[in-house]
Structure 1
Amino acid sequence: MIPGMKLPSVTFRTRVRDESIGGPNPYRWEDLTTEDYFGGKRVVLFALPGAFTPTCSTFQLPGFEKGFADFQAEGIDSIYCLSVNDAFVMNQWAKAQGLENVKVIPDGSGEFTRRVGMLVRKDNLGFGLRSWRYAAIINDGKVEAWFEEPGLCDNHGEDPYGVSSPENVLNWLKDASREQAA
């Protein structure tokens, strides 16, 4: 996607905690749309190949989580992590990672990922269809900046990481703030 493009309109099937349900698994289905997540605010969206995978769990997600205050200082309202995983997997991963700042978005069917051109095959790893790794600054549903890892293709032999890192995205925001102030 290129800056200025509007995100596709998609409905995400999420599971949210609802204590009124009771029992050991008090969650209910809740549909949230692209507009719900991205409308009227400036956010960071980052996407990765899969919950619980090494680079995602060790570097990318924790980096955005720990750096949340720095992103807020640069005018970011929320940070979202999207993966082609279902709501159950994404919620358990968020719990396992102890997330307090980053919110997860389940793109279980890969519809959003497909429509932004980032759906790739990862059959070489036994994953099937997944997201290519990228990050973006989204301002009121439109792409402000796009950070895509190099080599986008099916069954890539490596998992490139750097362009979409929290550090790189934060540096871009700081540079943009300096330019705007000048």
Structure 2
Amino acid sequence: MQPGSKLPEVTFHTRVRDESIGGDNPFRWEDKTTSDYFKGKRVVLFALPGAFTPTCSTYQLPGFEKGFGDFAEQGVDSIYCLSVNDSFVMNQWSKAQGLENVQVIPDGSGEFTRRVGMLVRKDNLGFGLRSWRYAAIVNDGVIEAWFEEPGLSDNHGEDPYGVSSPETVLNWLREANQEAAA
């Protein structure tokens, strides 16, 4: 993907809390589309190989969560974390991380990830198909900036992290906003 590209329109199968159901598991299925998440908003989207994995849980997701106020000051409406995991896993990871600012998007089938060219095999780790690590600034469904970790490939021996970090994305936003104001 590159700046100016429109995000692919896909359907994400999510589980949302519904207190009218009652019981220990008050959730129902709710399909959401790319438009539901991105239309009319300026957002940061970041994707990672898997929920509950070390780099994702220790650095990337907490960094975006804690930095939400700084992103909002730069004109970001929402921050989304996407992974090729199902909604059950993503909801439990969100709960375990105590998320209040970042919303998770489950790409259980990997369709969105495949269509943005970021679906890779991680069989070397026993993961199967997963997302390559990247981040993007998306304005009304169109890529404004793209931050892809180097070395995109199947069964990569490492998990590069830095280009898609919250700090890198926030610095880009600050510089872009300064240029626009000048």
On whether the aligned pair clears a TM of 0.5, the verdict is: yes
Q: Which residue of 2 aligns with 1:21?
A: 21
Equivalent in the alignment of 1:68: 68
Deviations 1:135-170 (A, max 9, x none): 000000000000000000000000000000000000
| In structure 2, C-alpha distance between the alignment counterparts of 1:167 and 1:144, rounded to whole Å | 17
CA distance in 2: counterparts of 1:4 and 1:146, whole angstroms: 10
Q: Matches of 1:7 and 1:181 in 2, distance apart?
A: 27
Correspondence 1:46-85 to 2 at 5 A = 46-85=46-85
Match of 2:145 in 1: 145
Q: Which runs of 4+ in 1 moved over 3 A?
A: none
CA offsets, 1:45-65, max 9 Å, x none?
000000000000000000000
| TM-score between the two structures when normalised by the length of structure 2 | 1.00
Aligned residues: 182
| Residue matched to 2:44 | 44
Whole-Å separation in 1 of the counterparts to 2:2 and 2:162: 19
Q: CA deviation at 1:99?
A: 0.1
Please report the TM-score for the alignment, with normalisation by the length of structure 1. 1.00
Identity across the alignment (%):
85
| SS of equivalent residue, structure 1 residue 58 | helix
Residue 133 of structure 2 is aligned to residue 167 of structure 1: no
Q: Deviations over 1:114-133 (max 9, x none)?
A: 00000000000000000000
CA RMSD of aligned residues (A): 0.2
Task: Determine helix, strand or coil for the equivalent of 1:62.
Answer: helix
Q: Aligned partners of 2:121 and 2:130: how far apart in 1?
A: 6
Unaligned runs of 5+ in 1: none
Counterpart amino acid of residue 94 in structure 1: S
1:12 maps onto 2:12 in alignment: yes
In 2, the alpha carbon distance for the partners of 1:178 and 1:78 equals 21
Aligned-partner SS, 1:80: strand
**Structure 2, unaligned runs of 5 or more:** none
